[in-house]
Amino acid sequence: MRPSPHHFEPRLHEAELLPIIDEIRALDTLDANTLHRLVRQYPKEGRGAFSKSEIIRGYRFFRARHGWDEDEAAFVERVRMKPVRTQSGVAPVTVLTKPYPCPGKCIFCPSDVRMPKSYLSREPGAQRAAQHDFDPYGQTLGRLLAYYNTGHEVDKVELIILGGTWSFYPEPYQIWFVKRCFDALNAVSRWRASGATDGSDAASELRPWEIKGAVSFDALIEEVDGRAPAKSYNQVVRGYLAEQLDGALLDASEHATWEELEEVQRFNETGEARCVGLVVETRPDHLSDDEVVRIRRLGGTKVQIGYQSLSDEVLEANRRGHDVAATRHAMKLLRAAGFKLHAHWMPNLYGSDPERDVEDFDRVFSDPDLRPDELKIYPTSLIESAELMRYYESGDWRPYTEAELLEVLSECLVRVPEYCRVTRVIRDIPGDDIHAGNKVTNFREVVEKELRRGGRASRDIRAREIRGERVRPEDLHLESIEYATSIGREVFLQFVTRERRIVGFCRLALPAEQAAIDEIAASAMIREVHVYGAVVGLDDDRRRGRSQHLGLGTRLIEEAATIASAAGFADLAVISSVGTREYYRRLGFADGELYQHRSLRSSS
């Protein structure tokens, strides 16, 4: 069993922690120099330094014993790490599925057999997954405890399930994986109800480091050489799973029923760590009407989908396995079902060049069949386990120079419309794993600096987010952007400041044709409502100056209802997540089988 990074017992360090805590309690603010002095003055076990999370955990552990009556949030605010990951309004929790055969044969894709296809064992999220042997419960609760112990709220969680092609995993595994993630979210309610003050106080059943996956991939020593593989990724992984599981690919325990999943989802509707978004990733050629419904039943609200390229020629050269028509079809299926659409696009693929890449990127937003809500831009990186190694060594492919990559990405970012959020520009691959290609992980900053130098700027949502800044209602105004899509008309409503900083938005779909899902065949659809600002607790009255307590979400929904009614729709549906069902019920939405609905017959 691996040691846990979360296992810290404050009571064993009382003599060293109390002086640090007392001095911090006496301060109005805490700067880095003062904290550095304190942890050096009172070292951990005479030689180490306490981390911020350990100081926070110590404060929570000793608070009742010593009768400290000040606001816990004020102490945590002083000490905690920069709240970058929770400034967008939710706490993102990323978990990975286990290694499993992949339907793709892409020449650019890494083949790390200890990871799900396309992921590398030294990526940060992959390391966390491997620590828990890809157990969904352990990964989820471990991440929640890491947030909590560094002072972040975990009331509202976006659950992001990555790893290979989700739609290729068997349905029983899909149901089980999501159920176990919800089990971990729900454990927070039981843990807090028990009166525990710290992750290390939790009952053993709640400790993620005591949960073991059915198969450990640590013992898998085979590797795939992209130059001349003796075995493919699928052959190695399939063989190892069969060896460990007596010929099977799934353990008997990796199974759950729809009824079991629905039970834990109902609990989560009013839990203390609610799932306000559930994301899966898949390939365009593995989406169908049935698969879209299955993802929705699982609680899914967003799908990450790999475009990679919008050139049939480039897709074929890279053995992607599908054409652009498949991408358009998949996007139409998902949009008609109300999902948020998160595309992946890759410059510097084999068969392309900088000029063709810029032309290709133009299609992402000029084509009504595409136009994603979010976008990841992943320039091709050469990994030794990828078949692209052969093309590199033969001279048929080369990575772009820094100047070429800068030019391509600069031209791409300025073309992104205000309704899209570019979530990532460079994949977080450790430099040592990259055989050739860009190794600068903060390349987005380089691009944005270059744009400013030329008097240009990105207009995407991420570049304009208000983040943790305070806002006043009188500084905001509501705007709408309308654009055509493959199913009809889309209205993007946004609250912005005078400087065009975005504070909240709503995505409203007004279909021109009936959806394949009977429940929403004649409905307008709210696909997303999001208000930016640091995560605020569900019942937290302490921070009402922040953007999540200005009633902006309600105002956006009411405006969407007015627009949908004026467009002739009698029903407004919302693709609500499990954890937002209560919120929408309070706003007059009633539960349907897969969506929530509000009648517009009385609206005019």
Q: Is the pLDDT of residue 451 over 60?
A: yes
Three-class SS state of 478: strand
Supply the pLDDT for residue 99: 95
Of 217, 210, 211, 208, the C-alpha closest to 245 is: 217
CA distance 96 to 120: 11
Q: Is the pLDDT of residue 384 over 60?
A: yes
- Domain 466-599 falls in which CATH fold? Aminopeptidase (3.40.630)
Of 334, 275, 273, the C-alpha closest to 302 is: 334
Supply the pLDDT for residue 79: 75
**Lowest mean per-residue pLDDT among 133-147, 169-183, 292-306, 374-388:** 133-147
Supply the pLDDT for residue 545: 44
89: Cβ–Cβ under 8 A, 6 or more apart, which residues?
156, 530, 531, 532, 533, 534, 535, 548
Of 289, 282, 336, the C-alpha closest to 308 is: 282
Q: Are 97 and 116 in contact (CB under 8 A)?
A: yes
pLDDT tens column, 19-50: 777 767 766 677 777 777 767 767 777 777 77
Q: Is the pLDDT of residue 364 over 70?
A: yes
- 172 alpha carbon, distance to own chain's centre: 23
From its phi and psi, is residue 146 left (phi > 0), alpha (psi between -120 and 50) or beta? alpha
Looking at per-residue pLDDT, the higher value among 78 and 242 belongs to 242
For CATH 3.40.630.30, the residue range(s) in the chain are 466-599
Three-class SS state of 315: helix
Three-class SS state of 346: coil
pLDDT tens column, 151-205: 788 999 999 999 989 999 999 999 999 999 999 999 988 877 666 555 444 434 4
What are the angstrom distances between the C-alpha of 253 and each of 208, 243, 377, 438, 593? Answer: 17, 17, 37, 42, 28
For CATH 3.30.750.200, the residue range(s) in the chain are 301-464
CATH of domain 301-464: 3.30.750.200
- Model confidence at 82, in pLDDT bands (50, 70, 90)? low
Of 313, 312, 340, 337, the C-alpha closest to 327 is: 312
CA distance 308 to 343: 8
Supply the pLDDT for residue 87: 47
Three-class SS state of 578: helix
- Model confidence at 139, in pLDDT bands (50, 70, 90)? very high
pLDDT tens column, 337-349: 999 999 999 999 9
Q: Mean of the pLDDT values across residues 474-492?
A: 96
Output the average pLDDT for the chain.
87
Q: Is the pLDDT of residue 400 over 80?
A: yes
Q: Mean of the pLDDT values across residues 207-226?
A: 73
Confirm whether pTM is higher than 0.75.
Answer: yes
Q: Is the pLDDT of residue 544 over 50?
A: no
Q: What are phi and psi of 280, to 5 degrees?
A: -130, 160
Supply the pLDDT for residue 122: 85
**Lowest mean per-residue pLDDT among 8-12, 134-138, 152-156, 421-425:** 8-12
CA distance 201 to 452: 50
User: In degrees, to the nearest 5, what angle opens at C-alpha 244 toward C-alphas 239 and 250?
Assistant: 85
Supply the pLDDT for residue 243: 93
- Model confidence at 537, in pLDDT bands (50, 70, 90)? very low
Q: Is the pLDDT of residue 5 over 60?
A: no
- Model confidence at 563, in pLDDT bands (50, 70, 90)? very high
Residue ranges of alpha helices (H) inside 119-214 are: 124-131, 136-148, 171-193
CA distance 198 to 196: 6
Q: Mean of the pLDDT values across residues 248-270?
A: 95
From its phi and psi, is residue 229 left (phi > 0), alpha (psi between -120 and 50) or beta? beta
Sign of the alpha-carbon dihedral angle for 97, 98, 99, 102: negative
CA distance 467 to 444: 18
Q: Mean of the pLDDT values across residues 10-18?
A: 74
